Structures are given as structure tokens and as C-alpha cells.
Structure 1
Amino acid sequence: SFYARALSAIGYELLMELPAAITGHGDVAGFGVRPKPDFWIAAGKPNVPSVHVAFRVASRALVDAFYEAAIAAGGRDNGAPGLRHHYHSNYYAAFVLDPDGHNIEAVCHEPA
């Protein structure tokens, strides 16, 4: 899936899957860094309007790796890795649209 491939670059993995029979609505997948998931996504219709989710990472290299992995997984560019001075002087981020059009960001706030 897009998320399994894109988030692996920042150390996330699929840690839990719950079927609709348990959740009462749709299949759900939980991603995170072991031992527990902290990002959940459900199968179903895409949200309208779309959502923006940001993952804080420890280095600019991880932002770059996320961007490359997300594009390779089928995401669309929504802002290549780089500084976004309008947020603050060390805001280094990349933005990718997932297959449903949601804006997924990896951001590092640390100096180079």
C-alpha cells in the first residue's frame, strides 16, 4: 500500500490491522514505530475536503527519504523537500498527495 511504502522511510511500519467486523465500519490499519501505532487510516470513501497530516522527523535526510519513498509508492508531488521560511527558519519539509488527494508531509524543525 501507499502508506506502508511511504512511511517505511521514516521508520513507520504496519503494526495492526482490524477488519470491519471488529471496527463496525471499515477495515482499519495502524502504522507507527514499535511497539504501538500512532497513525490510523480506514478503508472507505476519501474525505472531502481532503486532510493534511504531518509527521515530525528527526533529520532533513528523513524528509528527503520520505519524499522519495512516497513518490515511488504512487504519491504526487505537492512540494519538494526544502526550507519553508514562512513557517520558521529551520522548517524543512516535503509534501506529497496520497492516492486519495490527502496532503501528507514530513517535517524537520532542526537546523542543518
Structure 2
Amino acid sequence: MFDHVKFGVSDFAASKNFYLKALAPLGVTAGAEGEPSYGIELVIKGQITSLCLFETAEKPAHLHLAFMAQNRQQVDAFYREALEAGAKDNGPPGLRPKYHAHYYAAFVIDPDGHNIEAVCHAPQA
């Protein structure tokens, strides 16, 4: 559905570090980058969609961003890396059967207070 999503962050260096580290287990790497006011494009090699961050003085509204994981091990790795990068726990890896029987996710709060999730919809292999 989306080509890219771009949103402002209060501390570009901290957010860039957080997202690159937390999303690395999902295959996300740095793409095009400019000055902090332009930002950085975060991509998965071979895909055309991207997440773009840029520094702003505006207080952005809190977002809930859910990233697709291919397996539960990626969800676990996302959670570990996100916490190491300074995120706050908002729900450890585990099944969320209230959504559906195989909904395996982890939630963290990023440096700007956004609720960031990694989710795998596949049954355990």
C-alpha cells in the first residue's frame, strides 16, 4: 500500500541509531541520507518501500509502527536490539491471541515515545 512513510524525530542521531539497530534483524539498512532536516531513508534490499526519518523541532504526534518479521526469531532479535539501542519495553516477545492465534509480537517505545512493534503472523515452524 505505501511507497514510503516519513516522520519527524526530535534527535536525528539518536533516532537513526535506534532504528538502524532495532530493525537490523528485520533486514533494514540505511539508504539515501542527507542533512538531518532532510533525513534518512531506511530500506530492505530489493524492496521499494521505505521508512524515512527527519529531524524537526515540532513535537510529533505519537505513532504506532508495526514492522513485519518473517519469523519469531526476528521478533525476538528486534526486541533485544531495540532495548540495547535505548528503547523502553512496551511488551516482550510473545503470542497475542486476542489478535489471532499466531500473532507473535514485541513492542518497544522509541526515543520520541512512539510505539514500535515487530510482528510475525506465521505459526511456529
TM-score, with normalisation over the residues of structure 2?
0.79
Q: Confirm or deny: 8 A CA contact 2:27 2:45 kept in the other structure.
A: no
Deviations 1:44-102, CA, capped at 9 Å, x for gaps: 13412x00001011100000000000000000000100000110000000001001100
User: Offset of 1:11 from its aligned partner?
Assistant: 1.0
The equivalent residue for 2:73 is: 61
Gaps spanning 5+ residues in structure 1: where? 21-25
The equivalent residue for 1:101 is: 113
Shift in CA distance, 74/32, structure 1 to aligned 2, threshold 3 Å: same
The equivalent residue for 1:19 is: 35
RMSD: 1.4
Alpha-carbon distance in structure 1 between the residues aligned to 2:26 and 2:68: 9
Residue 75 of structure 1: which of 82, 87, 97 is its match?
A: 87
The AA in structure 2 aligned to 1:18 is: G
User: Offset of 1:37 from its aligned partner?
Assistant: 5.3
The equivalent residue for 1:34 is: 45
Shift in CA distance, 57/29, structure 1 to aligned 2, threshold 3 Å: same
The AA in structure 2 aligned to 1:6 is: A
Question: Is the counterpart of residue 3 in structure 1 residue 15 in structure 2?
Answer: no
Structure 1 runs of 4+ aligned residues shifted over 3 Å read none
The equivalent residue for 1:23 is: none
Query: Percent of aligned pairs with the same residue?
Result: 43
Q: How many residues align?
A: 106
Query: Which moves more between the two structures, 29-38 or 73-82?
Result: 29-38
The equivalent residue for 1:90 is: 102
Alpha-carbon distance in structure 1 between the residues aligned to 2:105 and 2:71: 10
Gaps spanning 5+ residues in structure 2: where? 1-16
